[in-house]
A and B are shown apart, each in its own frame.
Chain A
Amino acid sequence: MFQRHKFKFPAIVPLLFLIVVCTPVSRVAASVSSHSSTETAADTTFLYDEDLIVEQEFNAGKMIMEHVVDNHEWHIATLGHTHVTIPLPVILLYEGEIHAFWSSEFHNPAHSHNGFVLEHGKIHAEENPGKSVHDFSITKTVLAILFSSVLMLWIFISIANRYRRNPVSAPKGMQSLLEPLIIFVRDDIAKSSIGEKKYEKFMPYLLTIFFFIFLNNLLGIVPLFPGGANVTGNIAVTMVLAVFTLILTTINGNRHYWIDIINTPGVPWWLKIPVPLMPVVEIIGIITKPFVLMVRLFANITAGHIVVLGFVCLVFIFGSISASLGYGVSLVSVAFIVFMDLLEILVAFIQAYVFTLLSALYFGLATIETEKH
């Protein structure tokens, strides 16, 4: 049975994509009219209240987006009409002043507190919506970053202590699980891309990004509380990682690296002399390399999550047509979700590997020896 689905899989992906993309907004309007609330129709913010949407027609696009993007609180489950959420601190910088309060303060019909309004996941000032509020809240993603950082510190410092205590004995437990990965990063990523002589300098960074991305990719697949945040599928996170790679590449670039950018070898002179076409392309290349790193990781992880969530949504979409149809589809969906999750585990590793490998390659290019010429 499973095999038959496997063959159908390529055909069903575009279909799903269509469902995911087309559903979002159209049904929301319909849901409002049947809603028996005291709110006025002008209160558009209420359109996005989960309470209403859940009870009304199911909106797959909105549900997926909510799960994929960052949030000011950590929603764990909805039991009947109660939302089990972890309130997170909201920290705002507005007109030079810091405002800090719990995100649960927004749990009122107007979604406002202290002159700030939470709308579509963004906070702005009530009386002056155009003026920007700098939002430094500890959001779901930030908490997940902090959690995974603490987890990494705990794991790696504890295994480092074991290494320190028994330097030459065989690895044990967690150590033997991670040692092959550490050696893999060292030998197959750093040494082969940067070279024997200079790889050591970049090892701490490469190991940190590898394990940070890998751990967060894996935690992103876990749907329960400490996991489930889409950290590596958040463009700000991947942007920071890519910018770190860019900074390290730039400050470690040797003379040869910059000469190659300004005067690219192996290119006809007329591409350089009257109009400095190649140098411009190369300089753009400095930026596009990390940009591609950023987009690749973000897109891969987010796409994986969207596909899994799409299968989950299928159950509710068919369920809203008829309950038995929902149950029937759920069997298929669960099979696909299991398959996707397995694929995601693979992708978690591959994306961590690719990000680290490409960073290492860029460092290798920046520090290449001139002896070739």
Chain B
Amino acid sequence: MELITPGLGLIFWMAVPFLILLLLLRKFAWKPILKSLKDRETSIHDALHAADLAKEEMKQLQFSNEELLRQAKDERDAILRDARKVRDAIIEESKEKAKEEAARIIASARESIQNEKMAAMTDLKNQLAEVSLEIATKVLEHELADARKQEAFIRQQLNKVHFN
């Protein structure tokens, strides 16, 4: 029966020390422990959060680096492409110009050849005329050496002339 009948003295000696224990532990143990647990948890949480942020930032940075690199490559490619285009254009232009020049030169050569030819022909004609004249003179001198032949020739010539 004693087992299940709570004694007054024991109730008193349980209640009072327990209450004191509760108050002392609350003030000197639980408050600082719980506070520091909470602080530690928040600090860990913050640190993890900061690490996440840093990771994110890092990723962003890496991404932007890649982006930059890609842009640089693109730009290089564009520049190269442009340069190639310009080079091709220059070459093309030069070729065109050279062709034109050549054509011009050929044309002028042809012209000067023509001119020379004409000059030479003229010269030849003049010389031929002179030579012919000389020959004619020599022929006439030879033909008209005696007076009878002169007369006959004059008469012949005069016969050809028709007076109107």
B5-54 with Cβ < 8 A to chain A:
5-15, 17-18, 20-22, 24-26, 28-37, 39-40, 43-44
Query: Which of B14, B21, B35 has a CB less than 8 Å from the CB of A236?
Result: B14
Check: A102 CB closer than 8 A to any chain B CB.
no
Cα distance A168–B39 when bound, in Å? Answer: 7
The residue that A163 contacts in the complex, of B17, B18, B32, B43, with Cβ under 8 A, is B32
Closest to A142 in B: B13
The yes or no answer to B2 lying at the interface (CB within 8 A) is yes
For A158, the closest partner residue in chain B by CB is B29
Which residue of the partner chain, among B8, B25, B34, contacts A208 with CB atoms under 8 Å?
B25
Task: Report A-chain residues with C-beta under 8 Å of the C-beta of B25.
Answer: 152-153, 156-157, 204, 207-208
Tell me if A329 is interfacial: C-beta within 8 Å of chain B: no
- Residues from chain B with a CB closer than 8 A to the CB of A234 are 6, 10
A83 within 8 A of B: no
The answer for the CA separation of A134 and B14 in the assembled complex, in Å, is: 15
A237 & B17 in contact (Cβ 8 Å cutoff): no
Across the interface, which residues of A come within 8 angstroms of B3, CB to CB? Answer: 65, 68-69, 235, 302
Q: Note all chain B residues with C-beta closer than 8 A to A69.
A: 2-3
Q: In chain A between 189 and 220, which residues have their CB closer than 8 angstroms to a CB of chain B? A: 200, 203-205, 207-208, 212
- Asked if B4 is at the interface of the complex by the 8 Å CB criterion, the answer is yes
Task: Please give, as numbers and ranges, the residues of chain A lying within 8 Å of B33 by CB-CB distance.
Answer: 156, 159-160, 163, 182
Determine whether the beta carbon of A135 is less than 8 Å from that of B14.
no
Please measure, in the bound complex, the distance between the C-alpha atom of A167 and the C-alpha atom of B20, giving whole angstroms: 26
Residue of A nearest to B14 (CB): A240
Q: In the complex, which residues of chain B have a beta carbon less than 8 angstroms from the beta carbon of A149?
A: 17-18, 20-21
CB distance from B1 to the nearest CB of A (A): 9
* Cα of A68 to Cα of B2 in the assembled complex, Å: 10
Given A160-B29, A204-B30, check contact A137 B9 (CB 8 Å): yes
Q: Is the CB of A139 within 8 A of B10?
A: yes
Contact A164 B32, CB 8 Å, known A142-B10, A156-B25, A179-B37: yes
When distances are taken between beta carbons in the complex, the residues of chain A under 8 Å from B30 are 156, 160, 203-204, 207-208
Whether the pair B13, A208 counts as a contact (CB closer than 8 A) is no
A residues whose Cβ falls under 8 Å from a Cβ of B: 65, 68-70, 91, 120-122, 134-139, 141-142, 145-146, 149, 152-153, 156-157, 159-161, 163-164, 167-168, 179, 182-183, 186, 200, 203-205, 207-208, 212, 234-237, 239-241, 243-244, 298, 302
Q: Can you report 28 A-B residue pairs in the complex whose CB atoms are below 8 A from each other?
A: A65-B3, A69-B2, A69-B3, A122-B2, A134-B9, A136-B8, A139-B13, A141-B14, A142-B10, A142-B14, A145-B14, A156-B28, A157-B24, A157-B29, A159-B33, A161-B32, A163-B33, A163-B36, A168-B36, A183-B37, A200-B34, A207-B25, A208-B18, A236-B6, A236-B10, A240-B11, A240-B14, A302-B3
Given A149-B18, A160-B30, 5 additional A-B pairs, CB 8 A: A136-B8, A136-B13, A139-B9, A168-B40, A244-B15
